């Protein structure tokens, strides 16, 4: 654990030094910095934009945007990786909204959310049977793109809520309540899909 | 906040894992960084739209600021010109004279030159110096009753009268727009008033010396 912390600090120092040199005019060094995070950014973008070519283009947009905003990066506020993912998150959402002609999302009314007990939602989302998992995948597709991204950052990347707050520009309290809301919404969609299957 | 609940949801985690399988296999193409660096170089070579926009806003701001500056200078100068006659009345005649010359060059004031002879007549009639009034003599008597009657008091009295008269004339001059000929007349009147004042002072001194 201590070794990890030391390595992380060294990486951060190295990155800060690299960024300073890039800002001093050694532009070519950005190749090195971009190369470190290109895969991570591409994969995050690809979760929202399935086309590999399109995802790569959006990743390039994000990295170019990061280069142009490099002078504004503050190492005290967040790591370079978090800062870069924040840019990628917003670039991907923007691209998705501009290019997706129809976003098939389900609007769930608050009264429905209140109608489903917490225990029932917990049981549904904790179920690992193949059928339920498949239904959950379909249900995730019907969420809004930013909600999908939020689920991925929290459940798939196992990022801290603090990090997610930095990436998504929301405060932590909002993110907790939003995650709860998304869970309940998922549970309702799953139940609806199940009842449709029964018919 | 139910943080623990959020950390369970095994089914949800599995669904996300399955859903992201394809994305997790992706790697950037071989020329990815080359393309990126080429784009960076191209963006640096071409003027950036954001910078262009910044320049546009800056130039608009500069033009607006200069307009505001010109307007404020104009307003300030207009105020100064309208206040000049009043200032002339407050300052002494010798200093006021050159300022009056600058005022008279305005076209608006040139248009009013027809009124000048009438004004001068009126002024001459109104401000013709009368003989030394009795109360000045009386004042001298009061002064004389004091232990040390000084001729300085008489001078002060004469000066005060002179100043009052000059002020009145200046106010009149300020009220009517002054032009070049009027200025000359004004100077002659001032000289006359001064000489009368001196004469009056002499009379007062003579009266004092006679009574001594």
Same domain, B107 and B56: no
Q: What's residue A165's pLDDT?
A: 95
Range of the domain at B149: 91-211
Residue B140 has pLDDT above 50, yes or no: no
The mean pLDDT of chain A is: 88
Same domain, B103 and B35: no
- Its CATH class, for the domain covering A110-198, is mainly alpha
Give the tens place of pLDDT for each residue, B4-47.
556 688 999 999 999 999 889 999 999 999 999 999 999 888 76
Closest-approach residue (CA) in chain A for B5 = A122
Same domain, B117 and B159: yes
Which part of chain A has CATH 1.10.1740.10? 2-99
Number of domains present in the structure of chain B: 2
Same domain, B79 and B95: no
Q: What is the mean pLDDT of residues B187-198?
A: 88
Q: Concatenate the DSSP letters of all residues of chain B into one string.
A: --HHHHH--HHHHHHHHHHTHHHHH----TTHHHHHHHHHHHHHHSPPHHHHHHHHHHHHHHHHHHHHHHHHHHHHHHHHHHHHHHHHHHS-HHHHHHHHHHHHTSHHHHTTGGGHHHHHHHHHHHTPPPPPPHHHHHHHHHHHHSSS--HHHHHHHHHHHHHHHHHHHHHHHHHSPP-HHHHHHHHHHHHHHHHHHHHHHHHHHHHHHHH-
Inter-chain CB proximity B8 and A122 less than 8 Å: yes
pLDDT band at B167 (very low <50, low <70, confident <90, very high): confident
Tokens of residue B65, six digits? 């600021």
Specify the pTM.
0.57
Q: What architecture is the A2-99 domain classified under in CATH? A: Orthogonal Bundle (1.10)
Contacts of A34 in chain B (CB under 8 A): 33, 36
pLDDT band at B110 (very low <50, low <70, confident <90, very high): very low
Which residue in this structure is represented by tokens 């959950």? Answer: A136
Question: Does residue B142 sit within a domain?
Answer: yes
Same domain, B59 and B142: no
Q: What's residue A105's pLDDT?
A: 63
Residue B102 has pLDDT above 80, yes or no: no
Which part of chain A has CATH 1.10.10.10? 110-198
CA atoms within a 13 Å half-sphere pointing along the CA-CB vector of A55: 23
Inter-chain CB proximity B15 and A154 less than 8 Å: no
pLDDT band at A8 (very low <50, low <70, confident <90, very high): low
Q: What's residue A12's pLDDT?
A: 74
Question: Does residue B60 sit within a domain?
Answer: yes
Residue A192 has pLDDT above 90, yes or no: no
Question: Does residue B25 sit within a domain?
Answer: no
* CA proximity to B172, closest of B210, B132, B211, B115: B115
Same domain, B70 and B119: no
Question: Does residue B2 sit within a domain?
Answer: no
Tell the burial category of B25 from Cβ atoms under 10 Å away from its Cβ (0-12, 13-18, 19+).
exposed
Candidates B1, B28, B45, B52, partner chain A, best to mutate (most A CBs within 10 A): B28
Tell me which residues of chain B have a C-beta less than 8 Å from any C-beta of chain A.
1-3, 5-6, 8-20, 22-24, 26-29, 32-33, 35-37, 39-41, 43-44, 48
Same domain, B70 and B113: no
């Amino acid at each position: 654990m201590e070794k990890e912390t030391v390595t992380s600090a060294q990486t951060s120092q190295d990155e800060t030094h690299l960024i300073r040199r890039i800002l001093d005019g050694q532009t070519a060094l950005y190749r090195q910095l971009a190369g470190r995070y290109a895969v991570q950014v591409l994969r995050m973008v690809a979760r929202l934009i399935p086309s590999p070519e399109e995802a790569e283009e959006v990743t390039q947009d994000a990295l170019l945007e990061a280069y142009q905003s490099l002078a504004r990066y503050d190492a005290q506020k967040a790591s370079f990786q978090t800062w870069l993912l924040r840019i990628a998150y917003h670039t991907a959402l923007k691209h998705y909204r501009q290019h997706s002609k129809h976003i098939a999302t389900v609007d769930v009314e608050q009264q429905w959310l209140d109608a489903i007990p917490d225990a029932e939602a917990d049981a549904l989302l904790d179920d690992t049977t193949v059928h339920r998992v498949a239904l959950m995948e379909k249900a995730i597709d019907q969420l809004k793109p930013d909600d999908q991204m939020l689920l991925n950052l929290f459940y798939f990347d196992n990022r801290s809520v603090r990090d997610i707050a930095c990436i998504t520009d929301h405060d932590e309290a909002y993110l907790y309540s939003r995650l709860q809301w998304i869970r309940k919404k998922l549970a309702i969609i799953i139940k609806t899909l199940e009842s449709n299957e029964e018919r | 906040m139910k943080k623990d609940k959020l950390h369970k949801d095994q089914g949800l985690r599995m669904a996300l894992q399955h859903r992201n399988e394809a994305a997790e296999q992706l790697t950037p193409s071989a020329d990815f960084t080359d393309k990126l660096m080429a784009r960076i170089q191209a963006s640096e070579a071409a003027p950036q739209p954001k910078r262009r926009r910044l320049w546009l806003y800056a130039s608009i701001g500069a033009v607006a600021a200069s307009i505001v500056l010109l307007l404020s200078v104009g307003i300030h100068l207009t105020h100064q010109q309208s206040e000049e006659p009043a200032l002339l009345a407050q300052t002494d005649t010798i200093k006021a004279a050159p300022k009056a010359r600058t005022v008279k060059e305005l076209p608006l004031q040139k248009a009013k030159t027809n009124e000048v002879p009438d004004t001068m007549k009126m002024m001459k009639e109104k401000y013709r110096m009368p003989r030394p009034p009795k109360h000045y003599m009386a004042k001298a008597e009061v002064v004389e009753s004091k232990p040390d009657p000084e001729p300085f008091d008489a001078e002060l009295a004469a000066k005060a009268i002179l100043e009052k008269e000059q002020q009145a004339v200046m106010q009149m001059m300020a009220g009517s727009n002054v032009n070049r000929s009027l200025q000359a007349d004004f100077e002659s009147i001032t000289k006359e008033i001064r000489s009368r004042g001196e004469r009056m002072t002499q009379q007062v001194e003579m009266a004092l010396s006679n009574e001594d």
